[in-house]
C-alpha cells in the first residue's frame, strides 16, 4: 500500500508540474537544464524532464505495488536513488550544465527526506512475515 500511495503522489506531482499557476513561471519552463526557471508550488525547480521523471517514478510505484517484493524494491531502491540524487544535487553547481534535471536547494532536501522515508518504509514494512497471499495489493 505504501508503494502504491507514493506512486500516486509521484504521478500527481508530475502532473502538477505541467499546470500553470501551480507551477510558477510556467512560461520559463524548459525541457531540461538549470535555465528552466519554473517552480512547482513556487519552491521546487522543475523542467519538462523533471516532470517526466516524476511521472515515470509514479508509474513504477503503482506497477511495482502489485507484489510484496516489487513494493519493497520500489521503496528501498527508489529511496537509494533519491539519496543519490540528493548527493548529486549537493555536489553539482546550480548554474552548471551538469544540473540538467534541474535541482535547487528545496529539491535537494526534499530528495533527502524522500530517500530516508522510502528506505525506512521499505525496511520497516518488509519485516512483516511474508506468507502466500499476504502483502500483495490488487490493482
Query: What are 45-73's pLDDT values in tens digits?
Result: 999 999 999 999 999 999 999 999 999 99
The C-alpha cell at 7 is: 506512486
Q: What is the pTM of this model?
A: 0.83
Q: What is the pLDDT of residue 134?
A: 52
Q: Which residues of the chain have pLDDT under 50?
A: 129, 131, 138-139
CB 103 within 8 A of CB 78: no
Kind and range of the H or E run holding 13: helix 2-16
Q: What is the pLDDT of residue 64?
A: 95
Q: What is the pLDDT of residue 133?
A: 53
CA distance 90 to 104: 9
Q: What is the pLDDT of residue 129?
A: 45
Amino acid at each position: 500500500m505504501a508503494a502504491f500511495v507514493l506512486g500516486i503522489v509521484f504521478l500527481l506531482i508530475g502532473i502538477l508540474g505541467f499546470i500553470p499557476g501551480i507551477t510558477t513561471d510556467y512560461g520559463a519552463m524548459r525541457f531540461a537544464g538549470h535555465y528552466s526557471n519554473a517552480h512547482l508550488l513556487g519552491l521546487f525547480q522543475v523542467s519538462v524532464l523533471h516532470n517526466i521523471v516524476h511521472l515515470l517514478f509514479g508509474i513504477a510505484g503503482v506497477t511495482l505495488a502489485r507484489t510484496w517484493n516489487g513494493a519493497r524494491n520500489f521503496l528501498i531502491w527508489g529511496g537509494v536513488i533519491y539519496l543519490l540524487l540528493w548527493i548529486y544535487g549537493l555536489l553539482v553547481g546550480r548554474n552548471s550544465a551538469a544540473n540538467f534535471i534541474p535541482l535547487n536547494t528545496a529539491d535537494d532536501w526534499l530528495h533527502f527526506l524522500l530517500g530516508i522515508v522510502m528506505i525506512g518504509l521499505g525496511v520497516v514494512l518488509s519485516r512483516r512475515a511474508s506468507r502466500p497471499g499476504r502483502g500483495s495489493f490488487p490493482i
